Structure 1
Amino acid sequence: MNTRRLLIVHHTHWDREWYRSFADFRFRLLRATEHVVSLLEDNSLEGFLFDGQTSVIEDVDAVAGESLKRSLHTLIREGRIEVGPWYIMPDEFLVSGEAILRNLEIGMAQSRELGSSPEILYLPDTFGHISQLPAIARMFGLKSILLARGVNRDVSDLLWTGADGSEIHTHALPLWSGYYQDFLHADDFTVQTDRFISQCSEYSSGAPVLLPAGSDHSMPPADWKERALHLHDHLSGHNPPWEMKETGLSQALEELRTFHTRGNTPSGTQYPGKLAGELRDNGKAYILSGVLSSRVDLKRANVDTQDALSYQLEPLGYFASDNMLYSEHRNLLWKTLIQNHAHDSIGGCSIDEVHRENHVRFQQVRSGALRHMHDITRRLAGRTPGVFNNMLVLWNQLPYSRETPVRSDVFVPENEDQGSFSLWDGDTPLDLQIISREKTEGFFSEFEYPVNWYPGWKYTVEFLPRLRGMECRQFRIVPCSPERDSAHTLPEVVAEAPPEAPPEAPPENSRGSAVPVMENQHLRVEIGMDGRVDLVNTATRLSIPNALALVWEHDDGDTYTSSPRETGSRWGSLVSIEPVIRNRFSSRCSIRFRGFDDSEVEMKLSLNDNEQLLRVGVEIRNRSRDTRIRLVSGRAGSSRTSFSDTPFDVVKREHRHIRPHSHIPQREAYPNEWPSSSFISAGDVSICHNGFHGYDLLDDGRVAVNLLRAVGMLSKAELPERGGGAGPHIETPEAQLEQGVSGEIGIFPGVWDSPVLTALKFRISPLFDQGVAPAAAPEPLEINNQQIILSALYRMGNELCFLRIWNSSDSPQQFNPGLPPGSRLKRFKGNPLTTVTTAGEGPDAGMLDPAEADPGEPDAGAQAAGEVNLPVTIGPREIAAFLLISKETAE
């Protein structure tokens, strides 16, 4: 009865790319797979975990011979090799919630095709954990989570409660070394095993001790069979004895889960410890927060690419017919994107070659998505090459109403052009502003027509349509002379810029005389001759002085950790202010600042009618190495609290500053960067962005957003903020970002009612195209609750539309969408995966009655609760999925 158990799970942690390229690691993977397969086939090894990622198997299959593939797949079907549930193990804070779900959808589907049934959400090395992982794990029918970083507790087995209240058994690897236990290769492996057992027993609460035997890119020792016999005899001789058992991860976690619940209901009352919410405690293991701002160009590319799939291509399918969807192409784009989401890839902490390949993948996905979108809009608009397409078609591909200026291009053929044009909504002319007009050759290339040219003029216009959610609008283009149409007016120059820049002045100096203001219904922007920008909330009169201050700092860190010098920072000095330009629906101005080594940042200010924010386009021309550039905003005060979003949650953060003074071995200082998916709110300022994920609060409470962090080493041996290396010491000159970076932020003095939705609308503009015979559009679909946030909306055949939303508030919300007449809504309890794939299978294919579900287990991935009555109540932070069934199918 006193015998204790040591559960040995042989594994490898396989970074697909990191300090070597993907191709380099793949060949090493081929050799490593041969090794582990041979050990399994001659029964030298009981089982093996391939890092919880199916991409590893996919990569081997691409280069392995038929014999090795057969052996590998047989071992997976027999359960001796465990794969999944991930396709790629992602960084959870740098990708969208939808990308995390698609990642698991791919991994779970591939696992099942291979004959494996994952039960564990395996995350041994990611840099902290989002608060919604318990909900996500249960959504996919997973029973436990294994993780290491982000937890600093005195017990290993815990009950983790997520942001929406979901609970799940979680095993936190207790030692600083986490999954990295390679001592079974050592000559003194019995001694080291004793030491490991002694250390872990302090955390096990009497349960079996889990030994994750493996490390990065390594396999079990070739003589493991002999070593196993020796270790078994050694452990049996302990007093009390230890029983050694080689097992799979699912079996090991099930044994630990059963030990603590002791056959009771899964309420978790017997677990020795509890966790709640986001896990970013770095008291035991590094969480490496500097990855939030390493290689910002990657983060920017990722946000743009995710948005192209989630909020442009897929919802555009709502307006399309089945023969326009090409779901296999869309799925390939998602898969290619997710290959960039591995934590060392999207984290920007790999060698330069890896990140060059990342940019190629991003470009492939964006190009494929753009071509697919153009094909849909061209067909929906009835665009015909070589003729005058005199209808401008506009699609609001978000299920929210909007009334802000839209910029679009309009092509008028040379033989039709009269120097201007007007837009007509039926019999009503639209008020519009022509921004520019330029000659173009009119090149076109569509497979149905020979490649040709159609010379004409490209106009850029701005107008203010009122759009309902998921609505398509059509406007007639009527050429006319400028004299007949007052729309052909040049933007108004409100004021010239000052003749030359004044000397550099720190932010606290007086504003000087003002260039004329920019103003809309919500915001007044006052620009000083010294480059200061003051923001005033016209409703509350709240003022944020110098709201766009730029500061350059020397950063001695690496791609994992920011290490700013305590001295050597400087505020940006003004280079120039362009004149304020006022259009009918917006105002614009440009300001340039200079910092270290003649680096420059140009801020392009845009204030649009009806928008509750100032848009700030940021273009950084970086010439400085080992530098961090930050945008500082907000009013100085005592606030040490901020809010920011992470996948499917909004998190309140309490900030404190502990200045690192010495190197503490294997410890990390309190983080100086915090994650934000799309918005930050602190004190009296709200900020949204499209990929500037790292931020902090200064000592005086102002927000500092990291626009760029340029460093030249993958990892350094140690820093004041981190007592040891985080990877190999390899130079990464391209991480200095001397090519610069660009992006956009939105800023407002005050607090947005729905910051997540504000950030979404900030990033996503309506789509447009020209045609001659636009197709009939479906009825609009509208979400009228601003706390309910769209995650996914895509068509599955002509009659089915999948909708995933989440409640961004901490209180229950009513969801009552404006459905098309005659349609109905069904609600999924779990995740649909691929249970409903074609319209031919019918609207109820793969959907289970709730009575068939086992109430004592997590929701099965394919369970659906069936038809719902509106309105539906969505719980705090709840993620909910629905199937919209069209009128025709409903009948």
Structure 2
Amino acid sequence: MKTKIHVIAHTHWDYEWYFTSNESFIQLCYHVDEVIKALQEGVLDYYMLDGQMSIVEDYLEVQPDKRETLNSLITTGKLKVGPWYTQSDQMIIRGESLVRNLQLGLESGDALGGADRLGYVPDAFGQSIDMPKIFSQMGIDKAVFWRGLSSDQLSQREFLWQSEDGSRLLTYNIKDGYFVGVQLIEVDYTKPLLDQIKQDSTSSHIALPVGGDQRYVDFNLKERIAYYNDQLTDEQLVESNYDQLFAQINEEAKTLPIVQGELLNAEVSKIHRSIYSSRYDHKYLNDKIERRLIYQIEPLMTLADQLGLPYKQELVDKIWKLTLRNHAHDSAGGCNSDKTNQAILQRFIEADQLSYSVVDYLTRKISESRKNLKENQITVFNTLLIEREQVIGITLSLPQTAFTIYHEGKKVAFDIKKITKHSNAPIRKNIHPSPESYYYEIEIALPLKLQPLGYEVLDIKLNEDSIETTSASKQLEENGNTIENEYYQVCFKNGSIRVLDKESNILYPDFLIVEDAGDDGDNYDYSPPANDWKLQFKFDTANVSIVQGNWKSSLKLNGCFIIPKNQYEREQGKATASIPYCCTLKLEAHKQAVDVHLEINNQAMDHRMRLLVNSGVKTEHSIADTPFGTISRPVVDPNLKDWKEKNWKEEPTGLYPMLSFINLHDQQKSITAFTKGIKEYEVIGSKDKIIALTLFRAVGYLGKPDLGRRPGVASGNQFKYIKTPDSQLQKTLTFKCSIQIKHTFNAARAFCKYQKHAISFPYYQQQNVNQFTNTLKYFVMHPLPFQVPETYSFVDATKVKQVVFSSCKKARNRKGVIIRFFNPVEQAIQDGGELICQEDIHFWQFTTMEETIDEQHFQSSQTIPLGRFKPKEIKTIYIEFKHP
């Protein structure tokens, strides 16, 4: 039987790269016209539009008259679209973002005749460990990808890609790239191409993708197929698509090997395992917007919907789409031209403004619709599904500084952090405001216990001296060098940061160090210079001050790092660049973590800065979070010793991606670093390991050839140096992390700890002295036509055990609510606990990420038992309430 070569016509449409999406959009408009013409006239039988619906959406914006034409071509199977909205990065993008991406892509494709149920990932820089279960839960049972698989994992192209929960995908690895088939068009000699694509193939059906980056339609495809077939005896080329390829591989019924784990190796293609630290400013913004969308807007809008303020799905989708367009693999990585990164930054700014305005509007609308609304009251919202007892920060606007705070009728002690005096009088030249116009902005910290997914009210009484009635509010600024809470003592002594863990009585000297090193790399990869000069800073020249409060205390270090200004200075052993910094270490009552807030005003080029956390842990593995779980990685990649001899495309470095945390632990201790926007880490050190968090890389080119860690041609455009001075990041950068020292590590508790640390409490104060607490405050607003409860709690996951809350939102295209949990570890959990609903349930049932409902298996209990979780299993619950 002849080997059948499935010729698959397609384009790979990088959403943006060294060009902007606006520039490529012009070609897109004419390209899709060509695709339509080729399919309608039979010049092509099938065509694949890169598996992402954002470009179809863009095309239809200017060609709405072609909607019916596209619908016809998609319905008949000639044009393949979806399942993605954008071709997302998988390594530094949150799991719920990947789910929204697929949901929006599948919905959009189905509305046009049917999205392709293929996990198509032709160019992303690595495949996440969680993708088989994500695809499976979205109704996708087959996948195609290029990058990440190495021969030590598997040598053949066809296999079953499996997650720990048992989810499986029939998978095809296009080891030669999505562009390999262009040789069919351009090369007359058949043998090299056939030998290349047949290598490592065990099936008699082989994919030959014919396409490339923004490539035009090959109108002569049938002619070239006929030309090749005339020369072949043992093979036959046929126009095809991936559906037909997989159907015929299935018909062969061969036993296929199983592959598990992340695919992040660079044997056959570059993987760029340090792209996670390029363009840090973008990654910081993306992390903030993702957190706000997943953990604040969607739960808050769900709560508001239950109270009678309708869920605006299209508004949420608008913000998601802006954000998802920045999740395309190049966009997320930051490996783009400056003009492209400026466009990405503008989308982030727009998504940021929209998202925080949604939170501002909903908190105010609900607050001002309460039954017993009073002046100066504060409505505080908890958007997580668990009870939270934490110290929170609030800024009050009051006509005076003497006041007391009550919660549920009891006085609440608080720290006053800062008082600023303002006037609300109309501004006039040479006219001073009257004394009556003044008010005070007062920043406070106070402990609160808040019920799950709901809100509570704080009452403020004026003319009561808070210093006398709440002694805990007195706060002193001192010149000492030590702060402490019940868990840790943090001390700045002899020029270094020392942390004492009180539970174990272990002292961590030189706990935090900033490392600066040269970077001869590009936007894709870090590469050490041939003559590097590494510097380490213990803050020994810093000016020190502390603020000691009963609820929050801080130790502030101000100073300058003196480093080489550029690579030339580094090679000469000179250091003339002064890098101002402010490092603030914070301790909070009842919180077992040291919070770190670091600002660096970068004024140097071609360098990398990392925060080193001296853990004292002895281990050869790290634990980091992934889209829906955790992963254990070796400190030293087993392929590091001989990667050059094996002709790998780049060094299998110890640099790895993370979403929110990285942990090291042994039998005596555990150190976890929780981050906001920092996405890259490395574990260094011989015996006692050090967590190296990459703060940022400052480089000046999109791609460079012959790097130390990545030999050969430049990544990106191989024919021209493209300067990217913006990616030198000559500006003030903010870094936030929280470091926890414990005896043991528990993955579910780590996720919970992260959510409590990273998700703030939205709040609204009813007052009229300050119309600029946020932008929307200046606008007048009607309360709801009906009153909402004085306090409220919607859904309670406090009794959920050993699994992780992932999402709470309105179901798509249904009136119920979706709540999702996952098991983060490789061991089964026999009992995930129970979810308690405070409103009357009509019915509930377990579903998938597709959110389909089986009307034969409804349940109606008020308490939802989560039951047993398989290893790394994701469970999604659909709940329909009786009201509203």
Equivalent residue number for residue 539 of structure 1: 503
Q: Report the Cα offset of residue 403 of structure 1.
A: 1.7
Q: Any conservation in 1 of the 2:807–2:820 contact (CA below 8 Å)?
A: yes
**How far is the alpha carbon of 1:486 from its aligned partner?**
4.4
- Are the structure 2 counterparts of residues 185 and 640 from structure 1 closer, same or farther at C-alpha, using a change threshold of 3 Å? same
- Measured after TM superposition, the shift of residue 875 of structure 1 is 2.4
Work out the CA distance in 1 between the residues paired with 2:883 and 2:218.
62
For 1:377, the aligned partner's letter is T
> What do the CA deviations read for 1:682-731 (whole angstroms, capped 9, x no partner)?
24421010111111111322111000111111111121211232211311
CA distance 1:491–1:91, change in 2 (3 Å): farther
The letter for the 2-side match of 1:348 is: G
Residue of structure 1 in register with 2:736 after alignment: 744
State yes or no: 1:185 paired with 2:150: no
1:6 Cα offset (Å): 0.6
In the alignment, which residue of structure 1 is the partner of 2:572?
none
- Aligned: 1:10 with 2:17: no
Query: How far does residue 786 in structure 1 lie from its aligned partner after superposition?
Result: 5.4
Contact 1:536 1:749 in 2 (8 A): no
CA distance, structure 1, for counterparts of residue 244 and residue 716 of structure 2? 32
Q: For 2:658, give the aligned amino acid.
A: S
Contact 1:420-1:488 at 8 Å conserved across structures: no
Deviates more, 1:603-612 or 1:806-815: 806-815
Deviation, structure 1 residue 574: 3.5
How far 1:644 sits from its partner (Å)?
0.4
- Tell me what 1:885 maps to: 880
Cα displacement (A) at 1:561: 1.0
RMSD: 2.7
Q: 1:256 to 1:528 in 2, by over 3 A?
A: same
Counterpart in the other structure of 1:726 = 715
Give matches, 1:415-426, under 5 Å: 417-426=399-408
The answer to whether the aligner puts 1:549 opposite 2:548 as a matched pair is: no
Amino acid at match of 1:316: L
Distance (whole Å) between structure 1 residues aligned to residue 5 and residue 275 of structure 2: 35
Q: TM-score, normalization: structure 2?
A: 0.87
Give the C-alpha shift of residue 678 in structure 1: 0.4
Conserved in 2, the CA contact under 8 Å of 1:491 and 1:582?
A: no
After superposition, the Cα gap between the structure-2 partners of 1:232 and 1:693, relative to the gap in structure 1 and judged at 3 Å, is: same
Matches within 5 A, 1:620-631: 620-631=600-611
Q: What is the aligned residue count?
A: 813
Is the alpha carbon distance of 1:396 and 1:752 closer, same or farther for their aligned partners in structure 2, counting shifts above 3 Å? farther
For residue 677 of structure 2, the aligned residue among 672, 682, 691 is 691
Q: 1:609 offset after TM fit, Å?
A: 0.8
Q: What is the Cα deviation at residue 178 of structure 1?
A: 4.9
Tell whether the 8 Å contact from 2:624 to 2:663 is kept in structure 1 after alignment: yes
Once the two structures are superposed, residues 41-89 of structure 1 have per-residue CA deviations (whole angstroms, 9 ceiling, x without a partner) of: 22121111011111121121223373x5554443223211100000101
Q: Secondary structure at the residue paired with 2:832?
A: strand
Q: Which residue number corresponds to residue 805 of structure 1?
A: 821
Give the drift of 1:395: 1.2
Q: 1:107 to 1:493 in 2, by over 3 A?
A: same
2:751 matches 1:756: yes
Between 1:39-48 and 1:791-800, the stretch displaced more is 791-800
Kept after mapping to 2: 8 A contact 1:90/1:100: yes
1:707 aligns with 2:707: no
- Aligned residues of 2:413 and 2:472 also touching (Cα < 8 A): no
User: 2:462 corresponds to which residue?
Assistant: 479
Partner of 1:300: 284
TM-score by length of 1: 0.86
Q: Is 1:770 paired with 2:769?
A: no
Aligned to 1:29: 28
Letter of the structure 1 residue corresponding to residue 704 of structure 2: K
Shift of 1:673: 1.3
Question: Structure 1 residue 585 and structure 2 residue 551: aligned?
Answer: yes
**In structure 1, what is the Cα distance between the partners aligned to 2:603 and 2:3?**
60
Structure 1: any 5+ residue segments left out of the alignment? Answer: 262-269, 445-452, 498-514, 836-845, 851-863
CA distance in 1, matches of 2:46, 2:20: 28
Aligned to 1:244: 237
Percent of aligned positions with the same letter in both sequences? 22
For 1:748 and 1:533, how far apart are their aligned partners in 2?
15
CA distance in 1, matches of 2:855, 2:238: 38
Give the 3 Å change call, closer, same or farther, for CA 789–404 of structure 1 in structure 2.
same
Structure 1 CA distance for aligned equivalents of residues 645 and 48 of structure 2: 35
Q: Which moved more, 1:338-347 or 1:757-766?
A: 757-766
Cα distance in 2 for residues equivalent to 1:50 and 1:610 = 54
Q: Spell out, residue by residue over 1:331-369, the C-alpha distance to the aligned partner (whole angstroms, 9 max, x if none).
A: 211111111100000111011111111111112112112
Give the whole-Å Cα distance in 1 for the aligned partners of 2:140 and 2:262. 19
The aligned runs of 1:53-132 (5 Å cut-off) are: 53-64=52-63, 66=65, 70-132=68-130
Of the three residues 847, 851, 856, the one matched with 1:849 is 856
Give deviations 1:115-155, integer Å, cap 9, x for gaps. Answer: 02412100111111111111111111112011111112321
Q: Which amino acid aligns with 2:183?
A: F
Matched residue type, 2:523 = T
**1:155–1:174 contact (8 Å) kept in structure 2:** no
Give the letter for the 1:181 counterpart.
G
Q: CA deviation at 1:825?
A: 6.0
- Partner Cα separation in structure 2 for residue 381 and residue 128 of structure 1: 45
Q: Is the 8 A contact 1:383 1:770 kept in 2?
A: no
Residue in 2 that maps onto 1:814: 832
Taking structure 1 as reference, are residues 849 and 671 closer, same or farther at Cα in structure 2, changes over 3 Å only? farther
AA partner of residue 616 (structure 1) = V
Asked if 1:459 is matched to 2:442, the reply is yes
CA distance in 2, matches of 1:544, 1:533: 9
Matches of 2:346 and 2:854 in 1, distance apart?
39
Q: CA deviation at 1:158?
A: 0.5
Equivalent in 629, 646, 650 of residue 649 of structure 1: 629
- What code does the residue aligned with 2:793 have? E
Question: Deviating runs (4+, > 6 A) in structure 1?
Answer: 659-666, 864-868
What one-letter code is carried by the residue in structure 1 that aligns with 2:243? Answer: S
Amino acid in structure 2 at the alignment position of 1:243: Q
Matched to 1:293, the amino acid is: S
Residues 483, 201 of structure 1: alpha-carbon distance in 2 compared, 3 angstrom cutoff:
closer
8 Å Cα contact 2:180-2:208 kept in structure 1: no
* CA distance in structure 1 between the partners assigned to 2:468 and 2:322 by the alignment: 48
Partner Cα distance (1:393, 1:727) in 2: 51
Query: Which residue among 431, 434, 438 is the counterpart of 2:413?
Result: 431
CA distance in 2, matches of 1:818, 1:520: 34
Relative to structure 1, is the Cα distance of residues 637 and 135 closer, same or farther in structure 2, using a 3 angstrom cutoff? closer
SS in 1 for 2:296: helix
Say if 1:757 and 1:787, in contact at 8 Å, map to a contact too: no
Deviation at 1:430, TM superposition (A): 1.1
Question: Aligned residue for 2:336?
Answer: 350
Q: Distance in 2 between matches of 1:260 and 1:603?
A: 61
The code of the aligned residue for 2:515 comes to: V
CA displacement at 1:112 relative to structure 2:
0.4
Paired with 1:303 and 1:135, the residues of 2 have a C-alpha distance of 23
